């Protein structure tokens, strides 16, 4: 992993269990600031749980997580979550219009969203401005995913966690989102951590990668490690022999 760039997120011997299952096992490693790091691995590797730990929705039983060199426990949870945005695979919507969903992060702070800003955000994720007054429940899976990303961007987070956000999108929309991720990263210097099952995305878009399996980090480094992984299980995964 990059040793010259400051870490935006650092895991130090982190263990997390739930319902008597050891989900994350002694996780240690860094996510460099201002870079795109992909998180790849088979289902059930603990990737989404790791995200919830970064965003403070869960706390580890042991070890520490540092966000910008400060222990996650020293952050006010609300401040932490506004700075570490998360767009989940489920793309959950609240009842109401696209505008109400987009406004949610600000409504939670008793503020309203500027109409032009709302349209700009929709445009950035590839949705038309006239979507604003549609009912969010009427959107397709892909449109909801895009709206979910736009909603996360409202807080202008310094770190953005994206959980399989392109898995339900068609090829064209996937490309739009890939471009958006690169644009946000370049324009705002946002640190991006992106869970993806698409190794091509990891290689093309990601600067760095973490390969996780069964709650452990197996290999980390520049994305190119996916071309010739050292670990035998990672080799199998890259060849598509592990699901």
Any bridge partners for residue 95, and if so which? none
* CA gap 74, 63 in Å, rounded: 14
Q: Strand, coil or helix: what is 230? A: coil
7/60 with CB nearer other proteins: 60
Task: Determine how many CB atoms are found less than 10 A away from the CB of residue 165.
Answer: 25
Query: In whole angstroms, how close is the CB of 37 to other proteins at the nearest point?
Result: 19
35/151 with CB nearer other proteins: 151
Query: Pairing state of beta strands 62-67 and 7-18?
Result: antiparallel
Query: In whole angstroms, how close is the CB of 84 to other proteins at the nearest point?
Result: 9
Query: In whole angstroms, how close is the CB of 222 to other proteins at the nearest point?
Result: 29
Query: In whole angstroms, how close is the CB of 152 to other proteins at the nearest point?
Result: 8
Q: Is the dihedral of CA 203, 206, 212, 216 positive or negative?
A: positive
109/224 with CB nearer other proteins: 109
153/199 with CB nearer other proteins: 153
Any bridge partners for residue 209, and if so which? 38, 221
Query: In whole angstroms, how close is the CB of 199 to other proteins at the nearest point?
Result: 27
18/227 with CB nearer other proteins: 18
48/174 with CB nearer other proteins: 48
6 DSSP 8-state letter? P
Query: In whole angstroms, how close is the CB of 227 to other proteins at the nearest point?
Result: 34
Any bridge partners for residue 101, and if so which? none
Burial grade of 2 (CB within 10 A; 0-12, 13-18, 19 or more):
middle
Burial grade of 148 (CB within 10 A; 0-12, 13-18, 19 or more):
buried
Interacting residue ranges for other proteins, rule: CB under 8 A: 55-59, 73, 77-79, 81-82, 85-86, 88, 90, 92, 94-95, 104-105, 108-109, 151-152, 155
């Amino acid at each position: 992993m990059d040793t010259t760039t400051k870490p935006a997120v650092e895991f130090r011997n982190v263990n997390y269990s739930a319902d008597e299952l050891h989900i994350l096992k002694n996780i240690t490693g860094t996510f460099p600031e201002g870079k795109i790091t992909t998180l790849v691995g088979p289902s059930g590797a603990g990737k989404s749980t790791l995200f919830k730990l970064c965003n403070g929705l869960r706390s580890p039983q042991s070890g520490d997580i540092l966000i910008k060199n400060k222990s996650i426990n020293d952050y006010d949870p609300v401040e932490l979550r506004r700075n570490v945005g998360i767009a989940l695979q489920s793309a959950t919507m609240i009842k109401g219009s696209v505008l109400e969903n987009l406004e949610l992060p600000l409504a939670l702070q008793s503020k309203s969203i500027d109409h032009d800003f709302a349209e700009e955000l929709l445009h950035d994720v590839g949705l038309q401005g006239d979507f604003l007054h549609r009912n969010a429940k009427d959107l397709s899976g892909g449109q909801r995913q895009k709206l979910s990303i736009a909603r996360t961007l409202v807080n202008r987070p310094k770190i953005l966690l994206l959980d399989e956000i392109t898995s339900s999108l068609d090829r064209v929309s996937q490309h739009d989102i890939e471009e958006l991720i690169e644009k946000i990263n370049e324009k705002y210097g946002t640190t991006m951590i992106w869970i993806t099952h698409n190794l091509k995305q990891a290689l093309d878009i990601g600067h760095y990668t973490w390969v996780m399996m069964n709650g452990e980090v197996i290999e980390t480094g520049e994305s190119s490690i996916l071309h010739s992984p050292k670990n035998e299980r990672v080799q199998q995964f890259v060849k598509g022999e592990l699901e």
